[in-house]
Amino acid sequence: MKLTFILIHILVSASLIGVILLQSGKGGLGKAFGGDQAYRTRRGAEKLIFRATIALAVLFFITSMVNMFIR
């Protein structure tokens, strides 16, 4: 049982790292592909990546707590 949660934790960790690396610095994903606007909202893929980052961070926290309490 513990091994299963450790493997899930590793997968979530690797996914979280990948999603964070996909995000661009200050300009966002749009600036990486040529868009240069000072103020704008997140749209399309950038919004999806942003929400995936939040979801994976929450999953990372949950799997960390589960791994801490399982013997």
Q: List Cβ<8 Å contacts ≥24 apart for 63-68.
A: 63/5, 63/8, 63/9, 63/12, 64/9, 66/5, 67/2, 67/5, 67/6, 67/9
- Given a cut of 80, whether residue 66 has pLDDT beyond it is yes
- Given a cut of 90, whether residue 60 has pLDDT beyond it is yes
Binned at pLDDT 50, 70 and 90, residue 59 comes out as very high
- Given a cut of 60, whether residue 28 has pLDDT beyond it is no
pTM listed for this prediction: 0.74
User: Could you tell me the residue ranges of all domains in the chain?
Assistant: 2-69
Output the pLDDT for position 42.
72
Output the pLDDT for position 43.
79
Output the pLDDT for position 71.
79
